[in-house]
């Protein structure tokens, strides 16, 4: 149960106490205003008449502290004592009616958030103290500050722009919290737009080896744009992440110390942009450009599964973005191999109702499969696509769905999981299947290999579609900020 502590109770403090009194958890008030302390106790608020600068008057624990006196110099002293007493607590400080620039700067060094009365009105203070997004923000900070060592921020396999951007943004927030963190991924960044994003912005991401145990290098793990370790990433399945931030509704309960899974937004990048904004962190061009591109890609330029929050995030990010880099990322050169694979996918397509599957045969650029799957999805009357081909002893599969009541990740897992590895999101998934003895077939027999691959992959896929798992229908917002503590 969260314990909130209000130190000082000036004009703004009285309103803050009133707004916090009916929130879940414990509320303690320490004020040297005897009349105010008595009035609060009559309202069943745990109020102590004492000096707010004296730590001996504080309770044993506090996760959130509000410094709410009227005088700037006194608030500085209170914030300093509170930080010493509760180093991991989130401190929200009201600057005071007479604060100057020096006071504001000194208070900012002691607090996680400072309210400057010259810049904002009292209702903004109340919103920061009581709304649910703010509580999420504070709990994320608590989870980060609980990390002892280095945090691995892990994107899903073969990360897309939303996963890439979310990973580097969470690293930025971790650094703000004083935690060493590194953006990581398994697989390949092979799509030309994704490579352009990483290269042009010089994003620092570490490729992990699935043969190595990441727990030998990292002390804690965060998942972005997916929610289950070992599913759509190379982590061991028994890893318990500290943090999960995702916008895809989970099929099973998510386990982590801090969870923010909201399917009512179009991109995980939207959630990370919201955190940056609420923490008062000005994103650099790298982070802002990546996040904006992540939102645009996942919402298909704000035309698919878009919420007001996505527009708000874009508005926040736009002034910090590098428009030249963004243009270059959106228009990378397309290789002849990609064009050839798309052409073969269109030519070889097999259609059943609103679903299209296509075998493109042997390929040298497996990432072209994803682009072909996206292209086929633009065909009239098509809601689900599956494109697959083989290379170096492995069959690679890429699928997309839009506007269908289908969980594509679970469908591919049901269809191909027993003969290979498969999974992904409800609308975007993939699989890899060992080619086995077919890999020994001579090159001049490649056509027969393609026929066998087509029979196995398309056959299993279409058979599974008859009883395919539906897309998750969890609440549009599922956010478990932090586990409750015993009284």
pLDDT, tens digit (0-9, with 9 covering 90-100), for 422-476: 877 778 888 888 888 555 554 455 557 888 888 899 999 999 987 776 665 544 3
Are residue 325 and residue 351 in the same domain, yes or no?
no
DSSP notation for 241-265: -SEEEESSPPSS---SSEEEEETTS
* Alpha carbons 255 and 423: distance in angstroms, whole number: 19
Bridge partners of residue 205, in order along the sequence: 183
Residue 472 lies in a domain: no
pLDDT: is 467 or 121 the higher one? 467
Tokens (6 digits) for 475: 């609440």
Count of helix runs (H) and strand runs (E) in the chain: 16, 19
Q: Which range, of 157-171, 245-259, 419-433, averages the lowest pLDDT?
A: 419-433
Q: Is residue 477 domain-resident?
A: no
d(CA 1, CA 458): 52
Number of Cβ within a 10 Å radius of residue 327? 9
284: tokens are 């650099």
Identify the domain boundary among 97, 130, 163. Answer: 130
Distance CA(212)–CA(226), nearest Å, equals 21
Domain assignment of residue 478, yes or no: no
Among 280, 313, 331, give the residue marking a domain's end. Answer: 331
347 and 305 fall within a common domain: no
Query: What three-state secondary structure class fits 476?
Result: coil
- Residues 79 and 87: their CA atoms lie apart, in Å, by 11
Q: Are 429 and 412 in contact (CB under 8 A)?
A: yes
Is 280:113 a contact under the CB 8 Å cutoff? yes
Whether 486 is in a domain gets the answer: no
Q: Would you say residue 483 lies in a domain? A: no
298 and 163 inside one domain: yes
Q: Are residues 195 and 320 in the same domain?
A: yes
Closest Cα to residue 173, out of 84, 73, 279, 78? 279
Answer whether residue 449 is part of any domain: yes
Q: What is the CATH number of the domain that holds 405?
A: 3.10.310.30
- Residue 253 covered by a domain: yes
Output 12 or 253, whichever has higher pLDDT: 253
Domain end residue (candidates: 331, 347, 369): 331
What the block records as the tokens of 407 is 């969980």
Can you tell me the mean pLDDT for 88-97? Answer: 87
pLDDT band at 304 (very low <50, low <70, confident <90, very high): confident
Distance CA 220, CA 199 (A): 27
Same domain, 117 and 157: no
Single pTM value for the model: 0.63
Q: Are both 70 and 151 inside the same structural domain?
A: no
Q: Interior CA angle at 142 toward 140 and 145, to 5°?
A: 110
**Shared-domain flag, residues 164 and 62:** no
Q: Which two tokens stand for residue 389?
A: 């081909």
Task: Give me the domain span that covers residue 396.
Answer: 336-465
**Same-domain pairing of 281 and 148:** yes
pLDDT digits (tens, 9 = 90+) for 229-245: 988 888 998 999 999 99
Q: Please check whether residues 120 and 93 belong to one and the same domain.
A: yes
Query: Among 165-169, 297-301, 467-471, 475-479, whose mean pLDDT is lowest?
Result: 475-479
Same domain, yes or no: 290 and 225: yes
Residue-level pLDDT at 331? 65
Query: What domain count does the chain have?
Result: 3
CATH number of residue 248's parent domain: 3.90.1640.10
H helix intervals, 131-283: 132-145, 161-176, 192-201, 268-278
Mean pLDDT of the chain: 84
The answer to whether 124 and 469 have CB atoms below 8 angstroms apart is: no
Query: Do 317 and 179 sit in the same domain of this protein?
Result: yes
Residue 100: inside a domain: yes
Of the two residues 293 and 477, the one the predictor is more confident about is 293
């Amino acid at each position: 149960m969260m314990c909130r502590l209000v130190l000082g109770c000036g004009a703004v403090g009285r309103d803050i106490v009133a707004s916090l009194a009916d929130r879940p958890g414990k509320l303690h008030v320490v004020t040297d205003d005897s009349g105010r302390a008595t009035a609060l106790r009559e309202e069943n608020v745990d109020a102590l008449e004492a000096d707010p600068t004296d730590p001996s008057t504080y309770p044993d624990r506090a996760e959130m502290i509000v410094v709410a006196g009227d005088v700037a110099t006194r608030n500085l002293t209170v914030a300093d004592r509170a930080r010493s007493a509760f180093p991991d607590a989130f401190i929200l400080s009201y600057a005071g009616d007479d604060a100057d620039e020096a006071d504001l700067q000194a208070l900012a060094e002691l607090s996680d958030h400072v309210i400057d009365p010259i810049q904002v009105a009292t209702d903004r203070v109340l919103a920061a103290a009581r709304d649910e997004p703010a509580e999420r923000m504070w709990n994320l900070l608590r989870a980060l500050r609980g990390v002892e060592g280095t945090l691995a921020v892990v994107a899903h396999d073969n990360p897309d722009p939303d996963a890439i951007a979310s990973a580097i943004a969470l690293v930025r927030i971790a650094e703000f919290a004083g935690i060493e963190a590194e953006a990581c991924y398994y697989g390949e960044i092979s799509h030309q737009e994704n490579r352009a994003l990483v290269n042009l912005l010089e994003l620092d991401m570490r490729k992990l080896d699935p043969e190595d145990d990441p727990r030998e290098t990292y002390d804690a793990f965060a998942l972005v744009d997916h929610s289950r370790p070992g599913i759509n990433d190379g982590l061991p399945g028994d890893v318990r992440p500290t943090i999960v931030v995702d916008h895809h509704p989970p099929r099973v309960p998510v386990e982590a110390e801090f969870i923010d899974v909201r399917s009512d937004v179009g991109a995980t990048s939207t959630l990370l942009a919201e955190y940056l904004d609420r923490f008062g962190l000005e994103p650099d061009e790298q982070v802002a450009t990546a996040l904006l591109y992540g939102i645009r890609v996942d919402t298909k330029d704000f035309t698919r599964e878009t919420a007001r929050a996505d527009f708000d995030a874009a508005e926040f990010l736009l002034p910090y973005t590098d428009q030249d880099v963004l243009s270059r990322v959106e228009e990378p050169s397309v290789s002849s191999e990609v064009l050839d694979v798309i052409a073969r996918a269109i030519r070889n397509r097999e259609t059943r109702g609103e679903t299209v599957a296509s075998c493109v045969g042997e390929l040298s650029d497996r990432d072209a499969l994803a682009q072909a799957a996206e292209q086929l999805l633009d065909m009239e009357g098509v809601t689900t696509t599956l494109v697959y081909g083989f290379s170096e002893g492995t069959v690679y599969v890429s699928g997309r769905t839009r506007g269908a009541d289908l969980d594509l990740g679970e469908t591919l897992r049901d269809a191909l999981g027993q003969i290979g590895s498969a999974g992904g999101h409800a609308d975007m998934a993939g699989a890899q299947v060992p080619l086995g003895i077919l890999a020994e077939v001579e090159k001049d027999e490649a056509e027969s290999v393609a026929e066998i691959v087509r029979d196995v992959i398309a056959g299993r896929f279409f058979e599974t579609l008859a009883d395919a798992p539906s897309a998750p229908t969890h609440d549009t917002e599922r956010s478990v900020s932090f586990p409750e503590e015993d009284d």
